[in-house]
Amino acid sequence: VTVLPALPLMATPIQPLDSSWLGALWFLAAIVLLDCFDISLPRGDSTGVAGALCAAGIIVLGPVAVIGVSLASAVLASFIRPRPDSPRQLVAGAITRTLALLVTSALIRVPPVHGSQAVLFAVIPAVFLATELLIAQGSAAMLTGRPMMRLIRGNADSQSALLAAQWSASVLLLITYGRMGRWSLIPVVALLLLMRQSYALFLDVRETYKATVEVLVEAAESQDDRRVGHAERTAVLARSVAMKIGLSAHEVERISYAALLHDLGELAEGVGDGRGVRRSSVPASDIVRGVAFFDQVEPILRVCEGDGYTGATESDLMAALIVALASDIDSEYHPQVAAAHEHSLLDQVAHRVAPSVKARAVGAALRLGYRIPAVS
């Protein structure tokens, strides 16, 4: 550990606070512990809070030691975790963290940064966390073809509070490490676990809502063979179009729910009471009205229902258009769905939306390779 920092690229003008093997081992244990508690995100990847320790580790252990610790922790955690990463995820995660550590370490050599301890303690964790986010989102943008800046902005929106909290934890570790040594890792890890636990609980309950809605809609759809799977497919389609356009995570989620629920009114429609009486359809927006979780979804459904609703915002109209487009694309590929619908949802919504908005949504769907139905 003490020899490696001599590598020319890694040489920094500051001495590590702790250059012992024991210190590196404590960091390794703490990072592995936090990595094991990574939170699985609904989109398939995961997020964690161990970045705070890696950031502080640059100053505490020195750049080379922390890169070694970070790589070892990635491998160890992937073995210990109940759901291990795929080799590809493991390599991508390790590369992202190592790159962020290299970039941040290089910054220490800039005189204004290492000139003052306060600046060093504040800047290094911030730069590391921001760089890690940039690299992770940049590679995601390259892989998915989604606009990078929108992706970064969306993630910064949804995770900025968590990142700021990690930065705070990192600075607190640096402040206390000088006197308490490696014992200071215990309360800092506790703080990070507390944040992680709150975030995981929140995501967990949201996932429960999503699964509940999916299951209920699927159950209702299975009454009519023509409709089976339509809501789920529409939600997937609408989600991919919204992400392709680069809408925020919040908007994507709102659209996803609206797509799942857009046919709820027809699904709840009476099938007759045995005497040939057919109840009229209940608007989906009426069903979800009053349910706090769907407050943000109701305006989209109201636009989709085409009842002359005037309270819609620009984003509601855009969202409704995406839902309608996704529904009609699904009907295009599954003629039985078209037969089950009395009219085209897109026709109902498209005339309310500005041409530029239509162009964005249709353009995104075309880039995703979908066959587009005629838009009025």
Partner 1 sequence: VLQLTSVQRSAPRPFRIYSICVAVVGAAVFVFTLRQQPLQLSIQLLVVVIAAAASEMLSSELPMFSVTLAYPLVMSAIVLGGPSAAGVVALFSAVTIQDFRNQKPPTVIAFNAGQFTLSACVGGWLYLLAGARYLASGPNTFDPLTAADFPRVLLGMTLAAVAVPATNICLTSLGAALLTGTRFRDVLRSALALLPSQVILAFVGFLMAQVLSLNLLALPLFAFPLLVARQLYQRYMSLRSAYVDTIRSLIGALEAKDPYTRGHSERVAVYAVSLGTAMSLEQRALERLEYAALLHDLGKLAVPGAVLTKPTRLQPAEMDRIREHPGRGAEMVQRIPHLRDLADTVAAHHERIDGTGYPAGIDGSHMPLAARILGVADSFDAMTTTRAYRPALTYEDALAELRAGSNRQFDADVVRVFIENGVGTAQHLATPADAASADSYMTNMSFEEETR
The candidate with the shortest Cα–Cα distance to 266, out of 322, 327, 318, is 327
- Can you read off the two tokens belonging to residue 48? 């964690």
Taking CB under 8 A as the criterion, the residue among 242, 243, 264, 345 binding partner 1 is 264
- Give dist(CA 240, CA 223) in Å, integer: 27
- By the rule CB under 8 A, 172 interacts with partner 1: yes
Considering the complex, what minimum distance in angstroms separates the CB of residue 282 from partner 1?
A: 7
91 lies in the site for partner 1, by CB under 8 A? no
Q: Cα–chain-centroid distance for residue 68?
A: 28
Q: Which of the stretches 67-75, 104-112, 168-176, 335-343 binds partner 1 when contact is defined by CB under 8 A? A: 168-176
> Which of 292, 311, 355, 356 touches partner 1 (CB under 8 A)?
292
Chosen residue from 212, 313, 336, 376 binding partner 1 by CB under 8 A: 212
Would you count residue 190 as binding partner 1 (CB under 8 A)? yes
Size of the site for partner 1 (CB under 8 A): 67
Question: Among 8-16, 181-189, 329-337, 361-369, which window interacts with partner 1 (CB under 8 A)?
Answer: 181-189
Buried residues in 176-215 as b, exposed as e (16+ CB within 10 A): ebeeebbebbeebbebbeebbeebeeeeeeeeeeeeebee
Under 8 Å between Cβ of 161 and 202: no
- Could you tell me the smallest distance in angstroms from the CB atom of residue 255 to partner 1? 18
Cβ-Cβ contacts under 8 Å for 205 (sequence gap 6 or more): none
| Residues sharing a CB contact under 8 Å with residue 290, sequence separation 6 or more, in sequence order | none
194 counts as binding partner 1 under rule CB under 8 A: yes
Tokens of 219: 């159950």
In the complex with partner 1, the residue whose CB is nearer, 148 or 220, is 220
Among 267, 320, 324, 346, binds partner 1 (CB under 8 A): 267
- Quick check: 43 binds partner 1 (CB under 8 A)? no
Nearer to partner 1 by Cβ, of 162 and 317: the residue is 162
Q: What character string, x for contact with partner 1 (CB under 8 A) and - otherwise, covers 299-338?
A: ----------------------------------------
Separation CA 112–CA 119 (nearest Å)? 8
**Tokens at 279, concatenated:** 């109840």
- Which phi and psi angles does 41 have, rounded to 5°? -90, 155
What is the DSSP annotation of 266-320? HHTS----SSS--PPPPPHHHHHTT-GGGTTTHHHHHHHHTS------HHHHHHH
User: Binding to partner 1 by residue 29, rule CB under 8 A?
Assistant: no
Binding site for partner 1 (CB under 8 A): 161-162, 164-165, 167-169, 171-172, 175-176, 179-184, 186-188, 190-195, 197-199, 201-202, 204-209, 211-216, 218-220, 222-223, 264, 267-275, 279, 282, 287-288, 290-294
